[in-house]
Amino acid sequence: MRSIFCTFGLVLLTLAVGCSHGSGDGNEVELLNVSYDPTRELWKAVNEGFSEEYNASHTQQVTVRPSHAASASQARSVIEGVEADVVTLAMWTDVDAIRKAGLIDADWEDRLPNRSLPYYSTIVFVVRKGNPKQIKDWPDLIRDEIKIISPSPKTSGNGKLSFLAAWASITQRGGTREDAIQFVTEIYRRVPILDAGARGATATFAQKQIGDVHLTWENEALLEVRESKGELELIYPKISVRAEPKVAVVDANVKRHNTAQLAEDYLKYVYSPAGQEIVAQNFYRPIDPDVLARHRGQFPEIELAGIEQISGSWEKAQLDFFSDGGVFDKIFERKPE
Amino acid sequence: MSKSHRNVLPGFRLSLSFTLIYLTVMVLIPLAACLFKACSLGPAEFIEAVWTPRAKAAYSFTVGASLASAAIDCVLGLLVAWVLVRYEFPGKRVIDSIVDMPFALPTAVAGLVYSSLYVENGWLGQFLVPLGIHAAYSRLAVVLVLTFIGLPFVVRALQPVLESLEAETEDAAALMGATRMQTFRWVIVPLLAPAMVTGFSLSLARGLGEYGSVVFVSANMPFRTEIAPVLIVHKLDNFEYPEATAMAMVLLAMSFSLLIVINVLERWSKRHYA
C-alpha cells in the first residue's frame, strides 16, 4: 500500500516539475535562442544587453538561454523537438529546413529588416606568427606542403562557407565549373581533419597546433588571433564569400510558449544601435552604416561574392555541392592517391 | 525448485508482462520505426544510400577497429584481472576502482583527452610523434580509444571466474609434473574461455556503437578514419532521414550477425571446455 502511494507521489512530483517549465509563472519568462557554433560570446553579450534593457522597462523579467553547436545539427534538433523560440543560424538553408518542417511560417525572411539579416560576415585565413608559409591568397592554399584546417561542410556552416569562398575565388575570376571543382578537390586533399563545427576546428588549429592555415569566420578569426597573444595572424584574401547568418522566430514554438512578441522584440534588439554596437564589438560586420563606419578599421574592405553570383541561391548551392552525392561527396568518392 | 520456493520478484505473469512491455517500448518499437523509415526507400535508392565505396570503407573500418580493440582488450584485460585477483599490493583497491573509470567517464571527455594527449604538442605526443607514431587523428587513435572504452568489460567478466578458481587444481597439475605454461594452457584457459568470450563480445558491441569518443580522436577522413555512425550523422544533418535510417539498418544487421556468431562461439566453448 505504502509503495503504491510513494510511486504515485513521485509521478505527481515529476509531472509538476515538468509542467512548471516553459511559459513561467507570470513574472519570469525564458527564451531559448538556438544558434551556431562560434557565436557564444556574441549572444552572451546581446542577451545581457537585451535583458537589461527589457527588464528595466517591463514588470516581466526575461532571461535568454543560448544553445550552440554546428549549424545544421542545431537545425535538425529544432526540427526534432528542441523548443527554440528563436533560431540564429549560419546558413539560410538551415533556417529554411525548419520552415520546411512547418515550424516557421513561409514568409519569415521578410518579417525582419534586411531580409532577416542583422549582421554579415565572411571567411578569412588565420596563419601562424610571421606567416612562415607566405600565404596571401587562395592560389597559395594548394601548394603541396600546406595543411588546411576547415570544418566539414556536411555539418558546419563555416565548412560550407569555406567551400563556397574557395569556389567563388575561381568562378569570380573567370574560371569554369571544372576549374572550380579541380580547385576545391585540391583544397580538401590538404585538409587532414574534418571537425564537426567551427569551434572544434579553431581548437584543432590554435590549441593542438595542427595545420598551416585555418579557413574560418572573420569573427572567429579575430577572436582567435586576439586570444593567441601574438602567435597567430589574420590574413584577408583578395576575395571571399558573403556569409548571411539569418535569424528567425520559430512560430510554432512561440505560439505554444506565448512568447511571440517577446521573441520578435529580442531579434529587433539586434538591429537597434545598441545591438549593432555589440555586434561590431564581437567582430561581426554590422549592417547599420554608422556603426560600421565607426569600426571601419576593424573590418577592411574585401571583395565579397554573394550567393547569387556563386550559385544563384542557397538552396541550389546546398543541392549542388553539399547534399548526398554532390560535389563535396564526389571529392571523396574515389580512394585517395 | 519446489512449489514452496519463494521468488524474490513477484509472480511469473507480472515479471513476464513487465519484461515484455519494457522490451517492446525500449527496443522493439524504436527498431520498428527505424525499419519503417528505411523501407520508404526503393531498392535501388537503398543500395545507393548504403552500399557506396565510401560507406563500405566506413563499415569495414568500424568493424575492423572494434574487433582489433576487443582483441587487445582480451589480452590486457586478462593481465589486469589476473594481477587484481592473484596479488596483494598497496593501492590495490584504488586500481580496482580505476578500472571502472571508462564506464563513468563521458565518452566525449575520453576522446578529447586522448586527442590532446597524443597530438604533436601533447604530453605523450611530443615523444611519440618524432618516432613516427601518430596516436591522434589516425586509425591507431581510434583503436586506442576503443581499447580504453572496452577494457572494463573484459576485466569485470574475468574477475569472478578467476576468483573462483581453486588453487588445488593448479597445485594438482604442478604435482603431476606440468610446467607453468602447460598449467595455464590446459587448466586455466578452458575455465576462463567462456568468460573471455563474454568479455570480448561486450567490448566488441561497445566499440561498434561508439561515437562520442571516436569522433574526437578520428580525423573523420573518408576512406581512412571515417566510422559509419559519422556517415549517418552527415546524412541526418542534410535532412536525409530515410537514407540515414537505411545505413543504421545495415549497421544493425552487421552487429546482430557478429553477436550471433559470438553467441555460438560462447556456447561451443562452454560445451567443449566445461
pLDDT tens-digit series, residues B191-239 = 888 899 889 989 998 888 888 889 888 888 888 888 988 888 888 888 8
Q: Strand A232-235 relative to strand A123-128: parallel, antiparallel, unpaired?
A: antiparallel
Task: Kindly list the residues from chain A whose CB atom is less than 8 angstroms away from the CB atom of residue B222.
Answer: 332
The pLDDT assigned to B9 comes to: 66
Q: How far is B224 from chain A (nearest CA, A)?
A: 9
pLDDT digits (tens, 9 = 90+) for B155-177: 999 999 999 988 888 888 888 88
C-alpha cell at A186: 585540391
CB atoms A76 and B239 under 8 Å: yes
User: A173 CB contacts (<8 Å, ≥6 apart)?
Assistant: A239
Task: Kindly list the residues from chain B whose CB atom is less than 8 angstroms away from the CB atom of residue A100.
Answer: 239
Q: Strand A247-249 relative to strand A86-88: parallel, antiparallel, unpaired?
A: antiparallel
B137 at A interface, C-beta within 8 A: yes
Choose the closest CB to B220 out of A76, A152, A210.
Answer: A152
Which of A128, A190, A321, A332 should we substitute to test contact with B (largest number of B Cβ atoms within 10 Å)? A332
**Residue recorded with cell 576546428:** A201
CA distance A326 to A73: 19
B233 at A interface, C-beta within 8 A: yes
What is the full per-residue pLDDT of chain A (337 aa) written as tens digits?
Answer: 566 666 666 767 766 665 555 444 568 899 999 999 889 999 999 999 999 999 998 888 999 999 998 888 899 999 999 999 999 999 898 999 999 999 999 999 999 999 999 999 999 999 999 999 999 999 999 988 899 999 999 888 899 999 999 999 999 999 999 999 999 999 999 999 998 888 889 999 998 889 999 999 999 999 899 999 999 999 999 999 999 999 999 999 999 999 999 999 999 999 999 999 999 999 999 999 999 999 988 888 899 999 988 888 988 998 899 888 889 988 887 655 4
Q: Which residues pair with A239 in a beta bridge?
A: A303
CA distance B138 to B157: 30
Give the architecture (CATH level 2) of A123-242+306-331: 3-Layer(aba) Sandwich (3.40)
CB atoms A332 and B223 under 8 Å: yes
**Residue recorded with cell 519570469:** A28
Choose the closest CB to B219 out of A72, A192, A325.
Answer: A192
CA distance A66 to A36: 10
CATH superfamily for A2-119+245-298 is Periplasmic binding protein-like II (3.40.190.10)
Choose the closest CB to B238 out of A70, A192, A322.
Answer: A322
Residues 240-259 of B with CB under 8 A from A: 240, 243
Q: Do domains A2-119+245-298 and A123-242+306-331 have the same CATH topology?
A: yes
Q: Strand A28-35 relative to strand A86-88: parallel, antiparallel, unpaired?
A: parallel
B222 at A interface, C-beta within 8 A: yes
Q: Is A311 helix (H, G, I), strand (E, B) or coil?
A: coil
The pLDDT assigned to A337 comes to: 45
DSSP 8-state secondary structure symbol assigned to residue B5: P
CA distance A168 to A311: 9
CB atoms A332 and B233 under 8 Å: no
B44 at A interface, C-beta within 8 A: no
CB atoms B219 and A73 under 8 Å: no
B33 at A interface, C-beta within 8 A: no
CB atoms B237 and A210 under 8 Å: no
Run of H or E including A119: strand A119-120
The candidate with the shortest Cα–Cα distance to A294, out of A270, A269, A277, A278, is A277
Q: How confident is the model at residue B71 (pLDDT cuts 50, 70, 90)?
A: very high
Which backbone phi and psi does A131 adopt, to 5 degrees? 50, 60
Q: How far is B152 from chain A (nearest CA, A)?
A: 29
Which of B238, B240, B243, B245 should we substitute to test contact with A (largest number of A Cβ atoms within 10 Å)? B238
- pLDDT mean across residues, chain A: 89
CA distance A139 to A331: 18
Domain ranges of chain A: 2-119+245-298, 123-242+306-331
Choose the closest CB to A72 out of B115, B120, B238.
Answer: B238
Residue percentage of chain B with pLDDT more than 70: 96
Q: Residue B79, CB half-sphere, CA atoms under 13 Å: how many?
A: 6
CA distance B97 to B91: 10
Task: Kindly list the residues from chain A whose CB atom is less than 8 angstroms away from the CB atom of residue B52.
Answer: 333
B54 at A interface, C-beta within 8 A: yes
The answer to whether the beta carbons of residues A33 and A66 sit under 8 Å apart is yes
Provide the phi-psi class of A134: left if phi over 0, else alpha when psi is between -120 and 50, else beta.
left
The pLDDT assigned to A177 comes to: 92
CB atoms B221 and A192 under 8 Å: yes
CA distance A301 to B17: 70
Q: Is the pLDDT of residue B2 over 60?
A: no
Whole-number Cα distances in Å, B82 to B77, B128, B245: 8, 29, 42
**Residue recorded with cell 535538425:** A76
DSSP assignment of B196-259 = HHHHHHHHHHHHHH--HHHHHHS---TTTT--HHHHHHHHHHTT-HHHHHHHHHHHHHHHHHHH
Name the H helices within chain A.
Answer: 2-20, 40-57, 71-79, 92-100, 113-116, 157-171, 177-189, 198-202, 218-228, 251-257, 260-271, 273-281, 289-294, 307-310, 314-317, 327-331
Provide the phi-psi class of A183: left if phi over 0, else alpha when psi is between -120 and 50, else beta.
alpha
C-alpha cell at B35: 525499419
**B37 class by beta-carbon count within 10 Å (0-12 exposed, 13-18 middle, 19+ buried):** middle
The answer to whether the beta carbons of residues B199 and B205 sit under 8 Å apart is no
pLDDT digits (tens, 9 = 90+) for A323-336: 888 899 888 876 55
B12 at A interface, C-beta within 8 A: no
The pLDDT assigned to A290 comes to: 92
pLDDT digits (tens, 9 = 90+) for B101-134: 988 889 889 888 888 889 888 898 889 888 888 8
Which of A7, A191, A195, A208 should we substitute to test contact with B (largest number of B Cβ atoms within 10 Å)? A208
The pLDDT assigned to B38 comes to: 83
Run of H or E including A216: strand A213-217
Which of A194, A207, A322 should we substitute to test contact with B (largest number of B Cβ atoms within 10 Å)? A194
**A118 class by beta-carbon count within 10 Å (0-12 exposed, 13-18 middle, 19+ buried):** buried
